[in-house]
Structure 1
Amino acid sequence: MPDIHTTNGLWDHLEPASNLLAAVFDNDPILRYMLCNLSYKDYLVYLRPYWRGLCRAALLNGGVITEVNGWQTAGIMLPPGRSVDNPWTIIPAAFGFLGVLWRIGFAGFVRMLWDFTCPVNAAKERVLQGQEHYYLFAIGTEYEHQGKGLARALMESYQYTAWSLEKPIWLEATTEYSRDLYLSLEFEVVEEITIGEGKADMDGRQNPDGLGVTLWAMVWWPKASQRLNRE
């Protein structure tokens, strides 16, 4: 395991976390789909305020931002019982990206709240059946520091926290690379979900004949005894 130094923060960590995640999720297919009506140039411009709004939503729902080694890696974890689609925080969080919402319009808002949220929540209910869990909202590493084990080390610290309270961790992997990383950390894929069929290609760009974008709902269980009958 690499030597890591971490700090946890809330609103003081908002800007650097937004900047880092915007930089490293520049080609994420799910985010590209969410903003698919923008040109790629505009997409890159609006990624930072978009992530600022997403991070605001996480913080408003009890999320904690953890940075590693001076912002080489950052992650956001929500505690048990909290969710970013809480209706009481959607409007306050939206102030973080009003300009983005204006550019993507109502169709973009639908992609954010329904195309993604509805199938993910259905999978979560089927698998966890209301069981309290941690939610890994986001994790990312600067390109020049990837491959050093920083994200893995941060994930292992999250797993230790969840293990100590006997709570599972839920996340959605949006690329095959991230899916395989989580698999190596003993997460399991509980559902493969495709969104945007007939709207976008696999990279998330607009395409009326596209096959859509795939994501993987995944869970880490702290103990075998916490596995529920999910049939």
Structure 2
Amino acid sequence: MGDMATGQHSVRRVRRGEVGAAAATLARAFDDDPVMRWMFGDEQILRVGLPRMFGTMIRRFHLHHGATELVAGAGGPLGVATWDPPGRWRTPWWRTMWAVPSLLRAMPGRVAAAQAIVTAIETVHPSEPHWYLAYLGTDPSAQRQGIGGRLLRSRLAVCDAEAAPAYLESSNEANVPYYRSFGFEVTREIAVPDGGPTLWAMWRPPAAR
């Protein structure tokens, strides 16, 4: 999908040279996220590792799908959304192997926690073809300006045009009503074992044309 006019700013694809800036935006957006806090376990590890993790995941897992989008501001991305197309949410083993060294450096000593979250999520992931919203984040300096809504509407318009559902896991219960306002509904709670956090699986059928 190309640029989508949205008033003052535009929604467009993330370019390869913007991966670092996009990752930094997501890291700032997820700084106080309950799942990220539990997964990294330590404030200093999180500060250093979160942008590295997002950079690796965008570069290795999402960018090649052509559906990682940003809202651009004068100083860089104001918000970022990473989507995977129907049938392509699961990362091939060879891409995972490429990413492993970078992910190990991003979260030293926390691989088991990260794997517990991934396993809990993947075990209940829907088999029906759908667009998958892996991450959506707005820079704290740009929150409450409709940035997240612009990003959501950009890809949900594609979902509706293709008559395809959309799926996400909300890592913060406070965000569930926000996603409901875009047509998502909670289908189940995902509890990470051994005292891990809870995520809310949410599904959105395509809007009737």
State the TM-score, normalizing by the size of structure 2.
0.85
Q: What is the percentage of aligned positions where both structures have the same residue?
A: 26
2:13–2:66 Cα contact (<8 Å) kept = no
Q: Which moved more, 1:79-88 or 1:163-172?
A: 79-88
2:11–2:150 Cα contact (<8 Å) kept = no
Structure 1 segments unaligned to the other structure (5+ residues): 199-211, 225-231
Which digits, 9 at most, give the CA deviation of each residue in 1:165-214, with x for residues without a partner? 1111111101123222101111010111121433xxxxxxxxxxxxx311
Which digits, 9 at most, give the CA deviation of each residue in 1:77-102, with x for residues without a partner? 1111112543221111224334124x
CA positional deviation for 1:41: 2.3
Per the alignment, residue 13 of structure 1 pairs with 18
Q: Kindly tell me the number of residue pairs found equivalent between the two proteins.
A: 200
Q: Evaluate the alpha carbon distance shift between residue 85 and residue 109 of structure 1 in structure 2; reply closer, same or farther with a 3 A threshold.
A: farther
- Residue of 21, 36, 49 corresponding to 1:46: 49
User: Which of these two proteins has the greater Rg computed from alpha carbons?
Assistant: 1
- Residue of 57, 60, 70 corresponding to 2:60: 57
Structure 2 segments unaligned to the other structure (5+ residues): 1-5
Matched, 1:169 2:166: yes
Taking only aligned residues, the RMSD between alpha carbons, in angstroms, comes to 2.1
Per the alignment, residue 85 of structure 2 pairs with 79
Which digits, 9 at most, give the CA deviation of each residue in 1:117-173, with x for residues without a partner? 333233223xxxx32111111111111211111101210121110111111111110
> In the aligned structure 2, how far is the partner of 1:134 from the partner of 1:156?
13
> In the aligned structure 1, how far is the partner of 2:90 from the partner of 2:32?
23
Q: Evaluate the alpha carbon distance shift between residue 86 and residue 33 of structure 1 in structure 2; reply closer, same or farther with a 3 A threshold.
A: farther
Per the alignment, residue 111 of structure 2 pairs with 109
Q: Evaluate the alpha carbon distance shift between residue 10 and residue 79 of structure 1 in structure 2; reply closer, same or farther with a 3 A threshold.
A: farther
1:134–1:169 Cα contact (<8 Å) kept = yes
2:186–2:201 Cα contact (<8 Å) kept = yes
Matched, 1:214 2:198: yes
Shift >6 Å, 4+ stretches: none
1:13–1:65 Cα contact (<8 Å) kept = no
Give 3-state SS (helix, strand or coil) of 1:121's partner.
Answer: helix
Quick check: which one's strand share is greater? 2
